[in-house]
């Protein structure tokens, strides 16, 4: 039987926790993003080790987890530089997968110079069909601003992660689905390549050591995230 008092206590505790996450000092946000980024890199490392055993489905799931943590780390990094910036849905990065999945696309493109965005499709000719699809979706995002709202239906990171972790029964085809028969080496390599690109691009920009408030504000302008509100700088900030 469900204990109402315990349930209410859990809800209150979660509310307090999320309120605190939105009102930390810059130093605490710095501690947070460093821990989360380290965890993202751990998932990336684990994925490569699991792939060496040919368990590509589980490896892909860890790639998705690494991107989820990278998205969370990115938002904490922003707050660590300027904690006056309001991220209205910051608490969702601790429990909503779709929030992190949607954010990682935007973060990736905000971190890319315009020339790299234009050249993204050229590199795809050397990759698998899966990678071609991924790049095509990213290109659509560039030219159709509202397209990101439909990404979860077309490139469902949540489904990709779950398919890699669990055995399921496919009613439509009347068969069992396992991580090994849903995902293969080709798909792993394609998603691993993309994941590496996203990590590298964000590390060179958002996670750069010398980034300052001016850099962060410029990044947010490129990000175009309706959930991020910032105060306008009154004076130019020098590097």
Taking alpha carbons only, the member of 74, 93, 68, 95 closest to residue 160 is 68
pLDDT confidence of residue 105: 86
Residue 168 pairs in a beta bridge with: 177
Contact 216, 83 (CB under 8 A): no
Contact 57, 182 (CB under 8 A): yes
Whether 239 maps to a domain, the answer reads no
pLDDT at position 81 over 90: yes
Please state, in angstroms and rounded to a whole number, the distance separating the CA atoms of residues 17 and 10. 10
pLDDT at position 227 over 90: yes
Q: What is the pLDDT of residues 149-170, one digit of tens each?
A: 444 444 688 999 999 999 999 9
Whether 83 maps to a domain, the answer reads yes
Which two tokens mark 28?
């605490």
Whether 234 maps to a domain, the answer reads no
Contact 57, 179 (CB under 8 A): yes
Please state, in angstroms and rounded to a whole number, the distance separating the CA atoms of residues 196 and 174. 36
Terminal C-alpha separation, the chain = 59
Domain count, the chain: 1
127: pLDDT confidence band, cut at 50, 70 and 90?
A: very low
Report the predicted TM-score, pTM, of the whole model to 2 decimal places. Answer: 0.77
pLDDT confidence of residue 237: 42
Please state, in angstroms and rounded to a whole number, the distance separating the CA atoms of residues 201 and 217. 18
pLDDT confidence of residue 114: 61
pLDDT confidence of residue 54: 97
Whether 238 maps to a domain, the answer reads no
Please state, in angstroms and rounded to a whole number, the distance separating the CA atoms of residues 154 and 182. 17
pLDDT confidence of residue 24: 94
Please state, in angstroms and rounded to a whole number, the distance separating the CA atoms of residues 67 and 90. 16
230: pLDDT confidence band, cut at 50, 70 and 90?
A: confident
Whether 237 maps to a domain, the answer reads no
CA torsion angle 16 19 21 26 (round to 10): -130
Q: What is the pLDDT of residues 36-70, one digit of tens each?
A: 999 999 999 999 999 999 999 999 999 999 999 99
Higher local confidence (pLDDT), 210 or 176: 176
Whether 235 maps to a domain, the answer reads no
C-alpha distances (whole Å) from 75 to each of 11, 92, 108, 193 are 24, 11, 13, 23
Please state, in angstroms and rounded to a whole number, the distance separating the CA atoms of residues 151 and 136. 11
Whether 194 maps to a domain, the answer reads yes
pLDDT confidence of residue 209: 86
- Which structural domain, as residue segments, surrounds residue 204? 4-229
């Amino acid at each position: 039987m469900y204990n109402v008092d315990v349930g209410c206590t859990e809800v209150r505790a979660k509310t307090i926790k999320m309120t605190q996450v939105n009102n930390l000092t810059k130093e605490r946000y710095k501690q947070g993003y460093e821990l989360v980024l380290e965890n993202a890199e751990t998932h990336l490392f684990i994925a490569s080790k699991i792939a060496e055993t040919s368990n590509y489905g589980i490896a892909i799931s860890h790639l998705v987890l690494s991107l989820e943590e990278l998205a969370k780390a990115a938002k904490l990094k922003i707050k660590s530089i300027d904690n006056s910036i309001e991220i209205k849905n910051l608490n969702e990065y601790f429990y909503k997968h779709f929030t992190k999945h949607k954010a990682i696309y935007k973060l990736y493109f905000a971190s890319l110079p315009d020339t790299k965005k234009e050249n993204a499709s050229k590199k795809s000719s050397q990759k698998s069909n899966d990678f071609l699809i991924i790049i095509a979706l990213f290109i659509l995002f560039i030219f159709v601003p509202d397209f990101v709202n439909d990404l979860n239906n077309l490139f469902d990171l949540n489904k990709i992660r779950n398919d890699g972790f669990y055995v399921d029964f496919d009613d439509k085809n009347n068969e069992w689905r396992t991580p090994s028969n849903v995902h293969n080496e080709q798909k792993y390599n394609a998603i691993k390549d993309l994941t590496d690109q996203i990590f590298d691009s964000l590390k060179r920009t958002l996670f750069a050591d010398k980034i300052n408030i001016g850099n962060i504000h410029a990044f947010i302008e490129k990000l175009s995230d309706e959930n991020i509100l910032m105060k306008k700088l009154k004076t130019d900030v020098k590097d």
